[in-house]
């Protein structure tokens, strides 16, 4: 008996089917004559209806049936895949998602959506007369696994699906039913044989069983083909008695992917983190021992722990395509809301990120895309007057850069009006009138709380809420955000995001008696702060690195350690995007595999730290928030420049 909740399994599969249907509909909006897309949408709706009925989601099955019927008419050439029909099924798809998830729906919402669907179908051109397809005859034999009934599978809806395809004669096969004394009432021992005469092909039969085909036995014999060409029986999924090689290959391929609940991955990641901490402790003990055997075991455990960590990281990685795919629907809706024509393109969809990072990136990217559509792109007539194409373009791209992923959102719109940004910032008191700012600093004002240059409040923007949340979320991911813009040509917003939030490679440093970890991906270089440089920089913390002035922060003073500096202090230069700052520490202790532990709610708002980790000796080291410290260094430098 399976330990998985069959209802939850169906919901997961339903989400996949709804995602496939949505992507097919969005493609169909661009290519309404593509028969492959029409068939794909129909199969998705058909499977969702059948699976919903099988698992007791009767409201979902009944509602989906109407959408399936509409697309069946499209398949038959009776109505076209018009924009109105695609829009109606997209709206209906949102209702299906709510029904599948068990969320409450407004009274009459389903009826209103079906009325829109019927209006879209009725408003289509007259039917196209097509030749009546020839009838096919199939002999179908199938049986379900013994635990099918316990897991929620129901054979009667499958038989009803076959009857819907044409004329079906059904015979129950009782050969394997045990005696009453041995009968287990929760197990399925029946098989069924169906003689089906239908105008549909073999694919329609496969669609009936698509949700349970991996665990059942199915034999399909094309009697029409046998009569016409005397060909052999075709067996797609092997029976228990006979397992031909092609069928075995099919079954093997179906097991290549295993669906695992996310909480199990999180639990495994926690165990791997504890293993890394224990391995660090073992390494420290072995280093203090003269026992060579202990050292050898410690090195082997370190290698295995490192490999397990890397493997676990890979398991948690998912393609960013899962995230980018959601935004096609968003852009489709933005076209309707703004009255603009928008073309969205993507690049680097195979780039992978930790699943937790993917989930937390969704809202920031939605804000940025909406902002590009509403503020960035011009109306069609304005674009034509400016010599541009009528349709505006939004391009999403992702690429891996070391231990980070860089995501860019590019539009070819009007660009940022610097004068307007400055005027609004002065009006809001964010900057002093006439204050000297670099172009980067000016553009960063867009992400200040409450900042908006919109002329009017709309349902998309204008309230100054969103862009500051974007920045906070990205910095909460230990990432950074940069913006570049060319007036009249568009804007590019770049996000730099760490690959994972669970375990990082860090640089362990000492400040006073405390130990701290810096994410190694943010460290550029380490230099010595000589006594002469320390004395010269008093009052203005700047150091020259390759003809460039870099501000630095004395962490000993920032953290109020109350200790005297070491005679040989070090400056660790860190960066977020284009901004750099030096952090003065007393000692660099070396690299450290860092298992990130969240701070308590009491300490969560302390800006200088993003988490904590347990060291090999059982002590705790705080993880420095690089974005916060870089911002602090830049602000201190700006104040000194203004005063000096």
- Per residue in 486-518, pLDDT (tens digit) is 998 999 999 988 777 667 788 999 998 889 998
pLDDT tens-digit map of 270-318: 788 888 888 888 888 888 888 899 989 989 998 888 888 778 877 878 8
What's the rounded mean pLDDT across residues 160-171? 88
**Secondary structure class of 189 (helix, strand, coil):** coil
Distances, alpha carbon 103 to alpha carbons 9, 96, 100, 343, 581, in Å: 17, 10, 8, 32, 49
d(CA 364, CA 430): 23
d(CA 159, CA 519): 59
Q: Out of 3.40.190.10, 1.20.120.160, 3.30.70.3270, 3.90.1010.10, which CATH number does the structure's domain 6-122 have? A: 1.20.120.160
d(CA 79, CA 74): 5
d(CA 470, CA 69): 42
DSSP 208: H
CATH fold for the domain made of 136-254: Alpha-Beta Plaits (3.30.70)
Of 182-196, 414-428, 493-507, least confident by mean pLDDT is 493-507
Q: Taking 70 as the threshold, does the pLDDT of residue 642 lie above it? A: no
pLDDT tens-digit map of 4-22: 567 777 888 888 888 888 8
Domain with CATH 1.10.287 in the chain: 262-318
**What was the pLDDT predicted at 242?**
38
**What was the pLDDT predicted at 568?**
86
d(CA 484, CA 423): 19
Residue of 510, 523, 599, 520 whose CA lies nearest to 556: 510
The percentage of residues in the chain with a pLDDT greater than 90, rounded to a whole number, is 10
CATH 2.30.30.40 correct for 503-643: yes
Domain with CATH 1.20.120.160 in the chain: 6-122
What's the rounded mean pLDDT across residues 438-459? 72
In terms of phi and psi (left: phi > 0; alpha: psi -120 to 50; beta: otherwise), the region of 263 is: alpha
pLDDT tens-digit map of 482-494: 899 999 899 999 9
Quick one: pLDDT band at residue 606, thresholds 50, 70, 90?
A: low
DSSP 112: H
Task: Mark 555-582 as b/e (b = at least 16 C-beta within 10 Å).
Answer: bbebeebeeebeeebbbbbbbbbebbbb
What's the rounded mean pLDDT across residues 327-347? 88
Residue of 175, 202, 199, 206 whose CA lies nearest to 189: 175
d(CA 86, CA 65): 16
Cβ 487 vs Cβ 417: under 8 Å: yes
Residue of 235, 67, 280, 7 whose CA lies nearest to 142: 235
d(CA 270, CA 278): 12
**What was the pLDDT predicted at 193?**
92
Of 428-432, 492-496, 500-504, 621-625, least confident by mean pLDDT is 500-504
The token pair that represents 451 in the structure block: 């900042």
Cβ 393 vs Cβ 411: under 8 Å: yes
- CATH number, span 262-318: 1.10.287
**What was the pLDDT predicted at 194?**
92
- CATH number, span 320-498: 3.30.565.10
Q: Within 317-392, where are the H helices?
A: 321-324, 326-338, 355-371, 380-385
d(CA 595, CA 306): 12
Q: Is the dihedral of CA 322, 325, 331, 336 positive or negative?
A: negative
What's the rounded mean pLDDT across residues 612-617? 78
d(CA 401, CA 399): 6
* Angle between helix 58-75 and helix 35-54 axes, rounded to 10 deg: 160
Q: Taking 90 as the threshold, does the pLDDT of residue 633 lie above it? A: no
Distances, alpha carbon 523 to alpha carbons 518, 544, 575, 582, in Å: 7, 17, 7, 10
The percentage of residues in the chain with a pLDDT greater than 70, rounded to a whole number, is 85
Distances, alpha carbon 81 to alpha carbons 30, 152, 329, 395, 396, in Å: 11, 35, 17, 27, 28
**What was the pLDDT predicted at 389?**
92
Domain with CATH 3.30.565.10 in the chain: 320-498
pLDDT tens-digit map of 60-93: 888 989 988 888 888 888 888 888 888 888 888 8
Q: Taking 60 as the threshold, does the pLDDT of residue 251 lie above it? A: no
d(CA 465, CA 243): 61
Domain with CATH 2.30.30.40 in the chain: 503-643
Q: 5 CB contacts (<8 Å, ≥6 apart)?
A: none
Q: Taking 80 as the threshold, does the pLDDT of residue 235 lie above it? A: no
pLDDT tens-digit map of 555-591: 888 888 888 888 888 999 988 766 788 889 999 988 8
What's the rounded mean pLDDT across residues 214-240? 58
The token pair that represents 134 in the structure block: 């020839």
Q: What is the CA radius of gyration of the chain?
A: 31
Q: 505 CB contacts (<8 Å, ≥6 apart)?
A: 403, 519, 520, 521, 591, 592, 593, 594
Q: Which helix (H) or strand (E) holds 483?
A: strand 480-486
**What was the pLDDT predicted at 464?**
41
Top-confidence residue, 117 or 403: 117
Cβ 503 vs Cβ 594: under 8 Å: yes
Q: Taking 70 as the threshold, does the pLDDT of residue 418 lie above it? A: yes
Pairing of strands 342-347, 392-401: parallel
DSSP 108: T
Q: Which helix (H) or strand (E) holds 409?
A: strand 404-411
Cβ 146 vs Cβ 185: under 8 Å: no
Query: What is the longest distance spanned by two Cα atoms in the chain?
Result: 99
Q: Taking 90 as the threshold, does the pLDDT of residue 261 lie above it? A: no
**Secondary structure class of 5 (helix, strand, coil):** coil
Of 155-164, 191-200, 359-368, 463-472, least confident by mean pLDDT is 463-472
Q: Taking 70 as the threshold, does the pLDDT of residue 427 lie above it? A: yes
């Amino acid at each position: 008996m399976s330990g998985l909740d069959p209802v939850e399994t169906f919901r997961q599969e339903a989400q996949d089917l709804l995602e496939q249907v949505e992507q097919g509909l969005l493609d169909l909006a661009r290519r309404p004559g593509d028969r492959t897309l029409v068939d794909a949408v129909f199969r998705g709706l058909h499977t969702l209806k059948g699976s919903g009925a099988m698992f007791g989601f009767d409201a979902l099955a009944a509602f989906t049936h109407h959408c399936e019927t509409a697309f069946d008419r499209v398949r038959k050439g009776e109505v076209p895949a018009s924009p109105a029909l695609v829009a109606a099924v997209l709206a209906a798809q949102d209702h299906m998602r709510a029904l599948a998830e068990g969320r409450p729906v407004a009274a009459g919402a389903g009826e209103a959506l079906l009325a829109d669907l019927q209006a879209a179908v009725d408003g289509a051109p007259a039917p196209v007369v097509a030749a009546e397809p020839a009838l096919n005859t199939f002999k179908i034999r199938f049986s379900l696994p013994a635990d099918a009934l316990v897991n929620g599978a129901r054979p009667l809806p499958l038989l009803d699906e076959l009857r819907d395809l044409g004329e079906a004669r059904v015979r129950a096969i009782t050969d394997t039913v045990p005696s009453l004394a041995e009968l287990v009432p929760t197990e399925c021992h029946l098989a069924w044989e169906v003689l089906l005469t239908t105008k549909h092909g073999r694919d329609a039969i496969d669609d009936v069983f698509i949700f349970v085909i991996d665990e059942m036995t199915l034999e399909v014999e094309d009697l029409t083909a046998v009569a016409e060409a005397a060909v052999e029986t075709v067996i797609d999924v092997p029976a228990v008695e006979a397992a031909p090689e092609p069928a075995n290959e099919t079954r093997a391929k179906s097991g290549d992917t295993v669906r695992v609940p996310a909480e199990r991955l999180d639990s495994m990641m926690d165990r791997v983190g504890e293993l890394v901490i224990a391995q660090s402790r073992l390494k420290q003990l072995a280093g203090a021992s003269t026992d060579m055997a202990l050292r050898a075991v410690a090195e082997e455990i370190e290698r295995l722990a490192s490999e397990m960590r890397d493997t676990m990281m890979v398991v948690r990685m998912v393609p960013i395509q899962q995230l980018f795919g959601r935004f096609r629907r968003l852009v489709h809706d933005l076209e309707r809301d703004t009255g603009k024509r928008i073309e969205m393109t993507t690049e680097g969809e195979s780039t992978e990120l930790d699943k937790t990072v993917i989930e937390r990136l969704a809202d920031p990217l939605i804000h940025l895309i909406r902002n590009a559509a509403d503020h960035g792109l011009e109306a069609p007539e304005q674009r034509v007057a400016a010599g541009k194409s009528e349709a505006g373009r939004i391009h999403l791209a992702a690429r891996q850069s070391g231990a980070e992923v860089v995501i860019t959102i590019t539009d070819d719109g009007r660009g940022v009006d610097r004068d307007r940004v400055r005027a609004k910032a002065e009006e809001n008191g964010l900057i002093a009138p006439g204050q000297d700012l670099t172009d980067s600093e000016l553009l960063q004002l867009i992400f200040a709380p409450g900042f908006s240059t919109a002329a009017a409040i709309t349902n998309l923007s204008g309230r100054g809420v969103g862009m500051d949340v974007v920045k906070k979320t990205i910095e909460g991911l230990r990432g950074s955000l940069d913006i570049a813009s060319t007036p009249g040509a568009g804007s590019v917003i770049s996000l730099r995001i760490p690959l994972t939030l669970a375990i990082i490679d860090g640089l362990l440093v000492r400040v006073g008696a405390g130990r701290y970890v810096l994410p190694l991906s943010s460290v550029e270089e380490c230099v010595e702060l000589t006594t002469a440089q320390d004395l010269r920089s008093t009052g203005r913390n700047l150091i020259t690195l390759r003809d460039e002035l870099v501000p630095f922060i004395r962490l000993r003073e920032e953290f109020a350690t109350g200790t005297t500096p070491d005679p040989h202090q070090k400056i660790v230069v860190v960066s977020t995007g284009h901004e750099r700052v030096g952090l003065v520490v007393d000692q660099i202790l070396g690299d450290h595999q860092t298992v990130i532990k969240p701070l308590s709610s009491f300490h969560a708002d302390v800006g200088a730290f993003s988490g904590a980790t347990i060291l090999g000796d059982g002590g705790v080291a705080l993880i420095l928030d690089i974005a916060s410290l870089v911002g602090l260094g830049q602000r201190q430098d700006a104040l000194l420049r203004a005063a000096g």
